[in-house]
Structure 1
Amino acid sequence: MEMRSCVKIMNEWDIVAARQLGRNVAKELGFGTVDQARITTAISELARNIYLYAEDGQICIQKLEQATKKGMMVASIDKGPGIGDLRKVMEDGFTTSGGLGAGLPGVRRLMDEFSIESDLGKGTTIQATKWLR
């Protein structure tokens, strides 16, 4: 099943729209309220990063259905400046925005699978997957 919905992130309202989309998909798949909250928090962090650091980006949400399990993947795709030091942004407490610094390490903890690819001057793609227990 390759159904994918995307929300372009250009302002604060788009962050809200991406969260709402994620919550709706999580609900449809049968995630409980705690996992729904984890997923929407992860989406918030990813969408906020696009809003703060990249001119052009989107959050895409895809349902995953395999023979034995169901879940959803959240992808953050941007054409921003890229991340120079991936190790540094994955450290707890690291922040460039003056925020709490939960950021990407927080997203990694909230979700079951996490991957990040970044090219300086080209952009960043982050994929985070949550599986239904």
Structure 2
Amino acid sequence: MEVLRSEALPIRSAQDLVLVRQAVRTWTAELKFSLVEQTKMVTAASELARNTLDYGKGGQVILQIVQQGIRRGLRLSFEDNGPGIPDVELALRDGYTSGGGMGLGLGGARRLVNDFEIVTKVGEGTRVTVTRWK
């Protein structure tokens, strides 16, 4: 997979969540994603950025335009050095929440993208990488 463009954005405050959503909207529009595809990616990014801030105690997202063969896509990697996720399968289950939310975050984000990967280690942090292909 070739990375055509890359940018890192901090996730340290609620204002950063807005900036992440705006950047994802801009990048998906540049890739000529349909409005539905744009909305799915922005929604997934919003959920994952919120998790990075609330549960990971802040971190960053790396936005990348990637190409694999003839297809292009947007890959987002959300990284934090927070407490990690003790039970990934439980965290991905619909309705599960470790906070006061609705429990739509990780499982919902996974359904909105084409590729989803989570790497986590308790006490060291979490990286969630999602890709949506055009």
**Range of TM-score over shorter length:** over 0.9
Aligned to 1:104, the other structure's residue is in SS state helix
Unaligned runs of 5+ in 1: none
Aligned to 2:99, the other structure's residue is in SS state coil
CA distance in structure 2 between the aligned counterparts of 1:131 and 1:50, rounded to whole angstroms:
23
Q: Deviations over 1:68-98 (max 9, x none)?
A: 1011101111111100011110100101122
Which stretches of structure 1, 4 residues or longer, exceed 2 Å deviation after superposition?
A: none
Q: Compute the displacement of 1:55 (Å).
A: 2.3
The answer as to whether partners of 2:56 and 2:126 remain within 8 angstroms in 1 is no
Q: Compute the displacement of 1:19 (Å).
A: 0.6
Alignment partner of 1:106 out of 99, 105, 108: 108
Task: State the one-letter code of the partner of 2:95.
Answer: G
CA distance in structure 2 between the aligned counterparts of 1:61 and 1:127, rounded to whole angstroms:
10
Q: Compute the displacement of 1:67 (Å).
A: 2.7
Tell me whether 1:57 sits opposite 2:59 in the alignment: yes
TM-score for both structures, normalised by structure 1: 0.95
Q: How does 1:1-133 map to 2 (within 5 A)?
A: 1-2=2-3, 3-132=5-134
Aligned to 2:94, the other structure's residue is in SS state coil
Unaligned runs of 5+ in 2: none
CA distance in structure 2 between the aligned counterparts of 1:44 and 1:123, rounded to whole angstroms:
19
Q: Compute the displacement of 1:14 (Å).
A: 0.3
Q: Compute the displacement of 1:56 (Å).
A: 3.4
CA distance in structure 1 between the aligned counterparts of 2:44 and 2:11, rounded to whole angstroms:
15
Task: State the one-letter code of the partner of 2:122.
Answer: L
The answer as to whether partners of 2:72 and 2:133 remain within 8 angstroms in 1 is yes
CA distance in structure 2 between the aligned counterparts of 1:40 and 1:6, rounded to whole angstroms:
16
TM-score for both structures, normalised by structure 2: 0.94
Equivalenced residues, count: 132
The answer as to whether partners of 2:10 and 2:61 remain within 8 angstroms in 1 is yes
Specify which structure has the higher proportion of strand: 2
Percent identity over the alignment is: 38
